[in-house]
Amino acid sequence: MARQTTILREVYVEGVGLHTGDKSIVIFKPAPYANYGIKFVRIDLPNKPEVEAICSNISPELTIRGSVIEKNGVRVHTIEHIMSACFGLGIDNLVIEINNNEPPILDGGSKTFTETLLKGGLKEFNFPKEYYIINEPIYFELGKTKISAYPSDKLEMECTIGFNHPFLKFQQMSFSGLSKDFYLGDIAPAKTFCFDYEIETLQKDKLALGGSMDNAIVIALDGVHNKEPLRYNNEFVRHKILDLIGDIYLAGKPVKAKIVADKPGHRNNICFIKEFLKKAIIKKDETLEIVNDVRKTGLMKTEMVLDLKEILNYIPHRYPFLMIDKVKMNEANPLEAIGYKLVSGNESFFQGHFPGSPIMPGVLIIEAMAQTSCVMFLSRPEMRNCLAYFISIDKAKFRKPVKPGDVLELHIETIKDSGRRGKMKGRAYVDKKLAAEAEFMFVIVDRK
């Protein structure tokens, strides 16, 4: 049984960015609902823009010595250690506020990030965890890098690194299953590293400006320059695994697959995960037992039912175009809702559709689904003065006619929530039989 998680309370870290050398504070906050994902919020910029930590917001051209996400010109640099910590701890949803363009490097690995997040505590949503899985092998090769993925029921990894260098020629490590204890003890403390001859070039390129012996291992021809001993005899490949875990989490959901990587690096990791997502499918944890299930109690403890009068407070639709009579929502599953429509014989559309054989138009069934979605989203406090518009309808199918006297039960679930733009899946049932289904997209705008 696995549920989606966030943290219980706000926690923060502060320090200096590895590449920019800028001081920054990172504040971790609980996500408001399941399927929120991981979002960075630049609180130092006007309107506090958000950048989702997903690979569609990352450019391989920007990703050189660290993974950089960008949206509408807003960037956050070097996020891989935070993303790795989130994957290692099983955190699916998180708000990450940052007052600069790069998180601090701290200990050089993910140890401080994981310890800080654990201080915040972990909170479960009553919503199943979702994973990316594959049903066939995936192969990626670019330059000296080779990364493959094979079907598996857990995250497995085998990583090999090699350099034309007398001290660091070859290291390899593998694991089968990523538990919190394994990540905390064997991966998170591994420091980032570089070769001493790279430092001058990196700093000329305005990189590694915040690097030091405290947060990075500097490799010489016959050893390391650091006075502190290595934490592991194969620390270098462990850090490559740390980075790879973080980059893989830019898929947007945890991955279940066996990953075999030879000479991975941030840019190629991102290219690989983009190829991975072309064949990956989303799988929910079907073993989840819903607490206070409606089948056991008749009404979930956190359930909210809006009647017609309350619905009119949230959406602008009015007779004869109001297509729902009641909406049921649950705090535990804020991205799902159930709408109800009593199909009366007095509906105006039955006059012409069709005389003598009245059938509810399919497009109005989809409209009823959309209105249910509108109530779900526009009931959020921050969207009380907004409107929602259709921007697409896809995969619409009509299974059975809906007639006067039927009660439509409209099940709505969120496929993607990007704040003011989303994608929904709706199913309409009559007497527990599927009558219609569709996917649709919408955009939310201010009423004015």
Q: If you write DSSP's letter for every residue of 293-334 in order, what string do you get? A: -HHHHSS-TTEEEE-HHHHTTT----TTS---SEEEEETT-T
Mean pLDDT of 39-62: 90
* Percent residues over pLDDT 70 in the chain: 93
CA of residue 406 relative to chain centroid, distance:
38
Work out the percent of the chain whose per-residue pLDDT is above 90.
62
Of residues 53, 65, 51, the one with CA closest to residue 243: 65
Ramachandran region, residue 407 (left: φ > 0; alpha: ψ -120 to 50; beta: rest): beta
What's the whole-number mean pLDDT along residues 47-73?
Answer: 86
Nearest-CA neighbor of 413 among 445, 437, 447?
437
The whole-number average pLDDT for the span 197-204 is 75
pLDDT at residue 298, as a whole number: 37
Find the range with the poorest average confidence among 42-46, 109-113, 218-222, 258-262: 218-222
State how far the alpha carbon of 393 is from the alpha carbons of 62, 167, 390, 426, 437, in Å: 35, 59, 8, 11, 11
What does the pLDDT average to over 389-415?
93
On the question of pLDDT at 299 being above 80, the answer is no
pLDDT, residue 384, reads: 73
pLDDT tens-digit readout, 337-371 = 999 999 988 888 988 999 889 999 999 999 999 99
- Interhelix angle for 266-279 vs 235-248, to 10°? 40
The reported pLDDT for the residue numbered 345 is 87
Mean pLDDT, all residues of the chain: 88
Domain segments of the chain: what residues?
3-284, 294-446
> What's the pLDDT band for 214 if we cut at 50, 70, 90?
confident
Q: Is the pLDDT of residue 409 over 70?
A: yes
Residue 414: alpha-carbon gap to chain centroid? 13
DSSP structure string for 92-106:
--EEEEESSSS---T
pLDDT value of residue 335 = 85
Quick one: pLDDT at residue 295?
Answer: 34
Higher pLDDT, 379 or 178: 178
| Per-residue confidence band for 332, with pLDDT thresholds at 50, 70 and 90 | low
The predicted model gives 330-338 an average pLDDT of: 81
Residue 264 is predicted with a pLDDT of 95
CA 245, CA 111: separation in Å to the nearest integer? 14
13-31 as b/e: b if 16+ CB within 10 A: bebbbbbbbeebbbbbbbb
Determine if residue 416 is left, alpha or beta; phi over 0 gives left, psi from -120 to 50 gives alpha, anything else beta: beta
CATH homologous superfamily of domain 294-446?
Answer: Hotdog Thioesterase (3.10.129.10)
Secondary structure E strands in 316-385: 326-330, 336-342
Token output for 155? 């995250």
**Pseudo-torsion of CA 240, 241, 243, 245, nearest 10°?**
160
Amino acid at 123: K
Q: Quote the pLDDT of residue 417.
A: 79
**CA-CA-CA-CA dihedral for 350, 351, 355, 360, to nearest 10:** -10
Does residue 441 register a pLDDT over 70? yes
What was the pLDDT predicted at 19? Answer: 66
**Predicted local confidence at residue 197, as pLDDT:** 82
Cα distance between residue 326 and residue 181, in whole Å = 47
Residue 448 — pLDDT band, cuts 50, 70, 90?
A: confident
Determine the pLDDT at residue 251: 95
pLDDT of 207: 67
Name the residue type at position 221. L
State the pLDDT at residue 326.
92
Fill in the amino acid letter for 217.
I
Highest mean pLDDT among 49-63, 135-149, 214-228, 417-431: 135-149
Annotated catalytic residue 266: yes
CATH of 3-284, one of 3.65.10.10, 1.10.260.40, 3.30.9.10, 3.30.1700.10: 3.30.1700.10
Query: What confidence category does residue 97 fall into, taking pLDDT thresholds of 50, 70 and 90?
Result: very high
Q: What is the pLDDT of residue 208?
A: 66
Helix (H, G, I), strand (E, B) or coil at 197: helix
Out of 81, 266, 317, 353, which one is annotated catalytic? Answer: 266
Render the burial of 267-300: b for 16+ CB within 10 Å, e for the rest: bbbbbbbbebbeebeeeeeeeeebeeeeeeeeeb
